[in-house]
């Protein structure tokens, strides 16, 4: 055990590498983003990243021409990284500067995605069906949704509100949340035109959902996570608001190599593998019920259907009254 610790301890005994560890604990980052934040040359940063990855402190994964780095989630390296992160002083001047620059990188990215949705809000329903037949995906979702319906549904990153419309006749109430006011305007018009009065949408950030824990019987996340720089954190926040026994439907692309989607459609991730989603599910306590893959002409859409077990610790439950009050607000 003592010997096994040495590679991680040796790798981290350097100021820039400690800063990289801190940064990668706050997002999945590419080399060029780390270069931008740390202001050091690419070969230098790449060398640091290689050492940290080899020592098991970071995980690296390639997607097309991009390589992402994130804090290790498993193994001794993950334990060491977790301990060290707890010791880093957030008030340290270098860490403060890195945190500010990381926030700037993230907000630049979020702005380009927001611009994309602003430009395409009116046309979104057509764009969504460009690569895979919507009807097939929706039929599969309907087959997975509880046949007798549920009390309430939250659609995260609701866009034009299509999921709310789709499940409207199987829910007592539906709530959609989205960061784009332009998308929300289209969603409101769509719901009104469809006569769906028991569903509403509101502005909000999916990383900080404005609901107490365990508020919803069902949560949908349809073609949203590939825009996120921390998809695992986004999923964990979704699970936080799911009730014990509740169902979560996650829809996204299977891994693909359409690199141009990053620039043309502002995608950050090129789909998700079964193993990556399995790790998120396990970490959040979701039990995977079923996975479906729907191949289209050039892309495959995957649906992951999970449930939260019925029994959860009593101290994490909030009262139904509290939930209702907040949802009505
Ligand atoms: C590709 S669209 C999908 C919309 C809808 N779910 C559908 O499939 O038609 C992704 C949506 O996620 C929203 N979004 C992106 N980042 C978000 C965030 N941080 N919080 C909430 N919504 C976000 C975008 O505004 C956009 O409407």
Residue predicted with more confidence, 92 or 326: 92
Ligand 1 pocket test, pick from 119, 126, 159, 222 with the greatest ligand atom count within 8 Å of Cβ, gives 159
Q: How far is the CA of 206 from the centre of ligand 1 (A)?
A: 9
Residue 266 CB–ligand 1 contact under 6 Å: no
Beta-bridged to residue 174, according to DSSP, are 153, 199
pLDDT at 312: 62
Q: What is the dihedral of CA 146, 147, 153, 154, to 10 degrees?
A: 60
Q: What CATH fold (topology level) applies to the domain 2-88?
A: Arc Repressor Mutant, subunit A (1.10.10)
Three-state DSSP at 41 gives coil
Rounded mean pLDDT of the chain? 91
Q: Is the pLDDT of residue 89 over 90?
A: yes
Beta-bridged to residue 305, according to DSSP, are 249, 290
Smallest CA separation from ligand 1 atom 11, residue: 157
Instruction: Tell me the per-residue pLDDT of 20-48, one tens digit each, with 9 for 90 and over.
Output: 999 999 988 999 999 999 999 999 999 99
Query: Would you state the structure tokens that stand for residue 132, as one six-digit string?
Result: 């895979």
Could you tell me if 29 and 69 are in contact, meaning their C-beta atoms sit under 8 angstroms apart? yes
Residue predicted with more confidence, 324 or 173: 173
Q: How far is the CA of 99 from the centre of ligand 1 (A)?
A: 25
Task: Quote the CA–CA distance of 298 and 216 in Å, as a whole number.
Answer: 34
Could you tell me if 74 and 40 are in contact, meaning their C-beta atoms sit under 8 angstroms apart? no
Q: What CATH fold (topology level) applies to the domain 124-328?
A: Rossmann fold (3.40.50)
Q: What percent of the chain has pLDDT over 90?
A: 75
pLDDT, mean of residues 259-282: 93
Range with lowest mean pLDDT among 13-22, 75-84, 247-256, 310-319 = 310-319
Q: How far is the CA of 275 from the centre of ligand 1 (A)?
A: 23
Q: How far is the CA of 227 from the centre of ligand 1 (A)?
A: 8
Q: Is the pLDDT of residue 324 over 80?
A: no
Residue 161 CB–ligand 1 contact under 6 Å: no
Task: Quote the CA–CA distance of 195 and 214 in Å, as a whole number.
Answer: 28
Residue predicted with more confidence, 148 or 323: 148
Q: Which atom of ligand 1 is found nearest the CA of 226?
A: 1
Q: How far is the CA of 20 from the centre of ligand 1 (A)?
A: 29
pLDDT at 325: 39
Residue 231 CB–ligand 1 contact under 6 Å: no
Could you tell me if 187 and 214 are in contact, meaning their C-beta atoms sit under 8 angstroms apart? no
- Band (58; pLDDT cuts 50, 70, 90): very high
pLDDT at 316: 43
Q: What percent of the chain has pLDDT over 70?
A: 94
Instruction: Tell me the per-residue pLDDT of 61-77, one tens digit each, with 9 for 90 and over.
Output: 988 888 999 999 889 99
Q: For the chain, which residues make up each domain, given as ranges?
A: 2-88, 124-328
Three-state DSSP at 136 gives helix
Angle at CA 264, nearest 5°, toward 258 and 268?
65
Closest C-alpha to 167, from 224, 209, 216, 232: 216
Q: Is the pLDDT of residue 94 over 90?
A: yes
Task: Quote the CA–CA distance of 187 and 180 in Å, as a whole number.
Answer: 11
Q: What is the dihedral of CA 236, 291, 299, 128, to 10 degrees?
A: -60
Three-state DSSP at 287 gives strand
Q: Is the pLDDT of residue 219 over 80?
A: yes
Range with lowest mean pLDDT among 50-54, 133-137, 240-244 = 133-137
Three-state DSSP at 156 gives strand
């Amino acid at each position: 055990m003592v010997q096994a610790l040495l590679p991680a301890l040796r790798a981290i005994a350097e100021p820039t590498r400690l800063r990289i560890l801190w940064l990668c604990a706050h997002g999945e980052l590419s080399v060029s983003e780390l270069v931008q934040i740390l202001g050091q040359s690419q070969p230098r940063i790449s060398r640091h990243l290689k050492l940290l990855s080899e020592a098991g402190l970071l995980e690296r994964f390639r997607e097309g021409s991009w390589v992402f780095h994130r804090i290790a989630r498993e193994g001794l390296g993950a334990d060491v990284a977790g301990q060290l992160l707890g010791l880093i002083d957030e008030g340290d001047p270098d860490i403060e500067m890195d945190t500010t620059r990381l926030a700037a990188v993230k907000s630049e990215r979020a702005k380009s995605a927001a611009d994309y949705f602003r430009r395409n809000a009116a046309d979104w329903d057509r764009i969504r069906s460009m690569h895979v037949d919507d009807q097939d995906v929706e039929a599969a979702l309907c087959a997975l949704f509880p046949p007798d319906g549920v009390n309430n549904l939250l659609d995260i990153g609701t866009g034009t509100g299509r999921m709310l419309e789709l499940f409207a006749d199987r829910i007592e109430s539906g709530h959609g949340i989205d960061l784009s006011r332009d998308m929300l305007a289209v969603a409101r018009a769509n719901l009104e035109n469809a006569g769906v009065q028991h569903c509403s949408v509101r502005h909000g950030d999916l990383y900080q959902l404005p609901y107490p824990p365990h508020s919803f019987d069902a949560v949908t996340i349809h073609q949203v996570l590939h825009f996120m720089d921390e998809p695992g954190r986004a999923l964990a926040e979704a699970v936080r608001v799911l009730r014990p026994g509740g169902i979560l439907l996650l829809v996204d692309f299977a891994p693909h190599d359409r690199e141009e989607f990053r620039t043309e459609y502002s995608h950050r991730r090129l789909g998700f593998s079964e193993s990556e989603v399995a790790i998120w599910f396990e970490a959040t306590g979701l039990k995977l019920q079923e996975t479906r893959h729907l191949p289209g002409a050039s892309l495959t859409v995957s649906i992951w259907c999970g449930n939260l077990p019925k029994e959860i610790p009593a101290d994490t439950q909030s009262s139904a009254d509290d939930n209702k009050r907040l949802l009505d607000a």
